[in-house]
Amino acid sequence: MLTRRMMVQAIADRLAGSDTAQKSGRKAKHFAEPWKTIWQALEAAEAAGAPMQDALVEAVKNDPERDKMIAEIMYAQPGRPVGEYPSLGDIGDNLPPVQWLWNGWIPVGMITLMGAVPGVGKTYLSLDLARRVIHGDEFPDGAACCKPRSNVIFVDAENVPQIINERAKGWNMNRQKLYLMNPDLDDIIDFSQAKYKERLTQMVAQLEPGLVIIDSLSSISSKGENNIEDVRQILSFLNMLAREYETAMVIIHHLRKHSGSQMQLLDLSLDDFRGSSHIAAMARSVIGVSIIQTGPTVDRNAPRKVEIIKTNLGPYPKALGFIFAQGSNGGVVLLWDGKPPEPYKEPTQRDECREWLEDFLKETMEGKPVKPKEVVKAATEEGFSRALVFQARKELRAHIKNTEGRKSNQNCWQWSDEEISITSGYYDSNDDDES
């Protein structure tokens, strides 16, 4: 199979007697009409020793496009490669390295997708990131901002500027460096329309932001988020904008709806993102935000987990966590933790026995020594077996010492608030049950 340009070049090479024509190994079966007829005519003329130019003219004499075809062949330069294709070795040294706004999380010049179910706090989180860029503060994991004190553009497609203003004021954010893009009166932001593309392009070109936030993907197109052609057009525009103006582009997106019980059982994945799969495919980095229930009852203010669920750019950073807290002015602030919250797990009978044993030795016995048999008797009355007691004893051995040595009839267990040293003689490293 040959392209039109390749067929024209091969014919021009053959007419000129170029070595390229001989080396190419082109055969008539590789050509499409009308170029196949021309090629066969040249082959026949060459074999008969006849002028190939006459064979060319004769082959196309009845074609309505003959003048155009002959001109195209004559214009081609014999022996010239159809295309120039530089290797990675030719261009690699001139390619810029990947830059990060937030190292490992938000790259510069590429799309970052941030997804969560409604009510988790995506807008709060994005504004917290904006505040750090505007003021040059560290990111939650201590990483420095690579574009400190830059402007930030917030595309408020949901059109609630008063909410953003209240939050920015509550955080003492420099609002002179935060620029909102809102829709025209009685309109919606629609990046399938040229006027909104032009407006954002002009803002980015003039303001040179370190960060552009799109809130949210479902609100920036009148055509929805399921059609791959529509999604590709908008994301390609945003990706081009980020690349051309070397800015970070964070797009907020919603997840598919699940029942409350499902959300507790499932970790976030790319399959949870709403709309076309092309959305997550276009993003180089995908951030997931989820509520982690840390207690037996559902708490909408439970800690949030923030994690990278897709990256094409390096190792996955460790997940982080934050909680909503009341600020000094009565507003809401984000308090970050360097590690994600641990989800609540229903305690097992072994967990309950361990908790009971600690309470029994520490509180009921007030830290006084007690014989193992008496402990087992008290545990049995609480519904715990002898085996569970000794399993719990093993897990708490750093705080339960043997007063006389584990084989002594006079031995007792005694609680110690301080961890017992392995070399103290009181630490029980034996896994067998005591008699």
Which of 25, 41, 75 is the C-terminal boundary of a domain? 75
CB-CB contact of 373 with 333 (8 Å)? no
361-375 burial: b if 16+ Cβ within 10 Å, else e: beeebeeebbebeeb
**What burial class does residue 49 get, using C-beta atoms within 10 Å of its C-beta: 0-12 exposed, 13-18 middle, 19+ buried?**
exposed
Predicted pLDDT at 22: 64
Instruction: Flag whether 152 is in a domain.
Output: yes
**Cα dihedral 292, 297, 299, 302 sign:** negative
**Residues with Cβ within 8 Å of residue 87, at least 6 apart in sequence:** none
CA distances to 36, 361, 417 from 22, rounded to whole Å, are 17, 95, 90
Q: Are residues 331 and 404 in the same domain?
A: no
Q: Strands 106-107 and 178-181: what pairing?
A: unpaired
Single out the residue in 337, 362, 384 at which a domain terminates. Answer: 337
Whole-number pLDDT of residue 260: 52
Locus of tokens 């007697």: 17
Domain for residue 84, yes or no? Answer: no
Q: Where are the alpha helices (DSSP H) in 118-259?
A: 122-135, 161-170, 194-207, 228-244
Task: Tell me: do 291 and 320 sit in the same domain.
Answer: yes
- Rounded Cα–Cα distance for residues 357 and 384 (Å): 10
Residues 411-415 have a mean pLDDT of 95
**By the 8 A CB rule, do 109 and 50 touch?**
no
Please report whether residue 402 resides in a domain. yes
Q: pTM for this structure?
A: 0.74
Give the Cα separation of 142 and 152 in Å (integer).
Answer: 20
Average pLDDT over residues 361-368: 94
Checking DSSP bridges between strand 320-326 and strand 111-116, what pairing results, if any? unpaired
In-domain check, residue 68: yes
Q: How many domains does the chain have?
A: 3
Q: Does residue 337 surpass a pLDDT of 80?
A: yes
| pLDDT level of residue 312 (50, 70, 90 thresholds) | very high
CATH number of the domain that residue 357 is part of: 1.10.10
184 and 284 in a single domain? The answer is yes
pLDDT band for position 195 (50/70/90)?
Answer: very high
User: What per-residue confidence (pLDDT) applies to 268?
Assistant: 87
What's the CATH number where 155 sits?
3.40.50.300
Based on the domain organization, do 380 and 297 belong to the same domain?
no
Q: Are residues 188 and 302 in the same domain?
A: yes
Within-domain flag for 82: no
Q: Which of 337, 363, 388 is the last residue of a domain?
A: 337
Could you tell me what percent of the chain has a pLDDT over 70?
Answer: 93
Summarize the chain as % helix, strand, coil (round to 5).
Answer: 40, 15, 45
User: Which pLDDT value is given to residue 276?
Assistant: 81
3-class secondary structure, 402: strand
- Please tell me whether residues 318 and 356 are part of one structural domain: no
- The secondary structure of 115-130 as a DSSP string is EE-TTS-HHHHHHHHH
Secondary element (H or E) of residue 286: strand 285-291
433 pLDDT band, cuts 50/70/90, is very low
CA separation for the pair 55, 47 (Å, rounded): 12
- Angstrom distance (rounded) from CA 270 to CA 242: 22
Does 252 fall in a domain? yes
**Rounded to whole angstroms, how far apart are CA atoms 117 and 274?**
10
Q: How confident is the model at residue 330 (pLDDT cuts 50, 70, 90)?
A: confident
Q: 366 and 314 in one domain?
A: no
Q: Show the domain range for 401.
A: 349-424
Looking at the predicted structure, is the pLDDT value of residue 405 above 90?
no
The 10s digit of each residue's pLDDT in 339-351 is 999 999 899 999 9
Q: State how far the Cα of 263 lies from the Cα of 266, in Å rounded to an integer.
A: 5
Task: Please tell me whether residues 362 and 313 are part of one structural domain.
Answer: no
Q: Do β-strands 413-415 and 285-291 pair in parallel, antiparallel, or remain unpaired?
A: unpaired
Strand, coil or helix: 78: coil
* Whether residue 57 sits in one domain with residue 114: no
Within 10 angstroms of residue 257's Cβ, the number of other Cβ atoms is 11
Residue with token string 């999604």: 231
* pLDDT of 186 higher than 50: yes
pLDDT at residue 47 tops 70: yes
Residue 61 sits in the same domain as residue 156:
no
pLDDT, tens only, 214-227: 998 988 887 767 67
Whether the pLDDT of residue 275 is over 90: the answer is: no
187 in a structural domain: yes
**Distance from C-alpha of 132 to C-alpha of 322, rounded to nearest angstrom:** 15
Q: Considering all CA atoms of the chain, what is the largest pairwise distance in Å, rounded to the nearest integer?
A: 119
Is residue 155 domain-shared with residue 210, that is, in the same domain? yes
Q: 157 lies in a domain?
A: yes
Q: Which residue has the tokens 């609630």?
A: 160
Residue 140 pLDDT exceeds 70: yes
Same domain, 53 and 20: yes
Q: Lowest-pLDDT range, 300-304, 357-361, 390-394, 425-429?
A: 425-429
For residue 114, the cross-strand partners are 252, 287
